[in-house]
Amino acid sequence: MKVVVQRVSEASVTINKKIVASIGNGLLVLLGIVEEDTQEDIDWLCRKLVGLRVFPDENMVMNKSIHDTKGDVIVVSQFTLHASTRKGNRPSYIKAAKPDIAIPLYENFIATLQSNLGRSVQSGEFGADMKVKLLNDGPVTIIIDSKEKV
């Protein structure tokens, strides 16, 4: 399971010209799922996200977490995070989990993140053609892969 985490001043997700998620200060989390992913990956990533210190403290040092700042979160499914570009110019998405595996993991990820955060988490819609708008703050962008945990 892989996430791209972006600290944002604002972000939104639009589907069919309708805004389905919108936040101010917080995190935009792009989530990629592979077939080998389990609840253990979800639990580890959600704990990591809630504790990730990427927000400035009073000395402008990145020392506060999303939990500390009470910021908002949007989670967006993004199978392209597991693209392979080894051969040719057309990415292969063969590593990305099929919907029958990915959808339950995506939904569990959101539920676990909400539980760890102690409040609601907004999301896009799995498999939809989404327009994601964001104002990256910093910019701060971090990639975390649960398969690379020690």
Segment 13-66, tens digit of pLDDT: 999 999 999 999 999 999 999 999 999 999 999 999 999 999 999 999 999 999
Question: Hunting for tokens 């995190």 — which residue is that?
Answer: 27
Tokens of 52: 């990730």
Predicted pLDDT at 149: 80
Task: Please count the structural domains in the chain.
Answer: 1
Q: What is the CATH number of the domain that holds 43?
A: 3.50.80.10
What is the predicted pLDDT for the residue at 52? 97
Expressed as residue numbers, the domain containing 134 is: 2-148
Examine the pLDDT at 150 and tell me if it is beyond 80: no
- Catalytic residue annotation: 78-80
Strands 72-77 and 26-32: parallel
Instruction: Please state the pTM of the whole predicted model.
Output: 0.94
